[in-house]
Amino acid sequence: MATEHAPGAGEGLEELRRRGILHVDMDAFFVAVEQRERPELRGRQVIVGFPGERSVVLSASYEARAFGVRSAMPMARALRQCPSALVVPPRHTLYYSVSRQLMEIFGEFTHLVEPLSVDEAFLDVSGAVRRLGAPEEIAAQIKARIRADLGITASVGVASSKFVAKIASARSKPDGLLVVRPEDTVQYLHSLPVGALWGIGQKAGEALARLGIHTVADLAHTPDSTLSRALGASGLHAKQLSWGRDPRRVTPVREEKSVGAEETFAVDVADDAVLHRELLRLAHRVAERLRASGLAGWTVALKLRYADFSTLSRSHTLSVPTDSAQQLYAEARALLLGLGTRPQRVRLIGLRAERLERGTGVPRQMSLDMSEENWRTAESALDEVSARFGSGTLRPARLLAPDARDRPARSHSPVMPDGPPLFPADDDGGRGH
């Protein structure tokens, strides 16, 4: 645990507390964990993801990013830009295990921790400055603990608001620490390109550029009426941010709304057997994630996207929540069969557990022969093997060696909740895991 420090010379507690918001963001998280486990990958061009024309990059090492590789980029494009890259299949169970350790470290410094994803969180350390020192000292201690305990690195932004702290962490990557003092906030923001503001993506940036707005300072001095015409309400919100106005507090509790997995097939599929096998694969991914998070779902949802990109979904609510792959599969399969004859081939199939609650004390459906509990025991053993040796090392016999024509492109992260995502794919702020 970090040792006590007195407040900085010449600075009172209230002054220190004013800049007590930290945004801690791991550097290329998925890749960093893989490099920790496999030292031979260090210093190399590494991409975490699955090969395939429709798959995407989940994470890229900084060596690969030098070639323009980014998270969510199509894998085919990434390999064209960085042909010597080594593609490593993801091990989500391992990543979530490291993430739990990361959140435990945060909790030792403050109880005000708001996770944003598997590898980043806001921390309010304003109440800890008397005990641990200035916010930047606390940030340095957190970085040191992460390096010592987890063997990976983090970048940290320190500011008086969440928005500015997040910008600061992104601007300090990799393995950096950037402090933006309250009195310097507006000057710092006004030095940045307008795209640094939340909500200003490519299209919004192009619309602003047509008005001659290229920097945050430009936007800050643009009349409200002009911004409203160009961007609607989001334009006025961006203007508030441009002056450093972000009153949101760090909110410690952010429950996941759902946990799901979906796959895009390399070739559109009409065969029920292929779809059923893929549902079983997805059910194991979702159940593994549920158990890793101590969650269970009351509702099972099926998603289908047809060849023409039309999409439908169906769901069923259970009598008791589940984290069992076999039960998720059975319910999703029943939903699929209930659709009857499909009008087209299937491009994408997805499975999601919804209405989640913590697993401790949750009632479970028990069969007379204890088969459900036997399945859960077997699946928990699969979790342990996957965490140690990688996903897919041990799996149900039905999932072994599918025909290459059936094999999905694996274009989606298999454990992505919706809502404000608690565990999204490694993005690193244009960063990538």
- Predicted confidence at residue 234, as pLDDT, reads 86
Task: Name the range with the highest mean pLDDT among 117-131, 252-266, 379-393.
Answer: 117-131
The CA distance from 191 to 194, in Å, is 9
- Predicted confidence at residue 357, as pLDDT, reads 85
CATH 3.40.50.300, applies to 1-183+422-433: no
Examine the pLDDT at 1 and tell me if it is beyond 50: no
Sign of CA dihedral 331, 332, 334, 339: positive
- Predicted confidence at residue 117, as pLDDT, reads 86
Largest CA-CA distance found in the chain, in angstroms, rounded = 75
Domain boundaries, the chain: 1-183+422-433, 192-242, 258-399
Residue 389: pLDDT band by 50, 70, 90 thresholds? low
> Torsion-angle region of residue 302: left (phi > 0), alpha (psi -120 to 50) or beta?
beta
Whole-structure pTM over 0.75, yes or no? no
| Average of per-residue pLDDT across 398-420 | 44
CATH topology of domain 258-399: Dna Ligase; domain 1 (3.30.1490)
- Which member of 63, 114, 120, 137 is catalytic? 120
| Average of per-residue pLDDT across 71-78 | 91
In sequence order, which residues have a C-beta less than 8 Å from that of residue 91 and are 6 or more positions away? 33, 34, 386, 387, 390, 391
Tell me the percentage of the chain whose pLDDT exceeds 70: 79
Residue 421: pLDDT band by 50, 70, 90 thresholds? very low
Q: Dump pLDDT digits (tens) for 216-231.
A: 999 999 999 999 999 9
Residues belonging to the binding site for Mg(2+) are 25, 119
- Predicted confidence at residue 49, as pLDDT, reads 92
Examine the pLDDT at 382 and tell me if it is beyond 80: no
Q: Dump pLDDT digits (tens) for 168-210.
A: 999 999 999 999 999 999 999 999 999 999 888 889 999 999 9
- Which one is the CATH code of 192-242: 2.60.120.330, 3.40.50.300, 1.10.150.20, 2.40.420.20? 1.10.150.20
Residues belonging to the binding site are 25, 119
Examine the pLDDT at 361 and tell me if it is beyond 90: no
User: Mean of the per-residue pLDDT values for the chain?
Assistant: 83
Measure Cα distances from 373 to 40, 286, 293, 355, 401 in Å: 40, 18, 19, 22, 28
Least confident among 12-26, 317-331, 340-354, 408-422:
408-422
- Predicted confidence at residue 78, as pLDDT, reads 95
Catalytic: 120?
yes
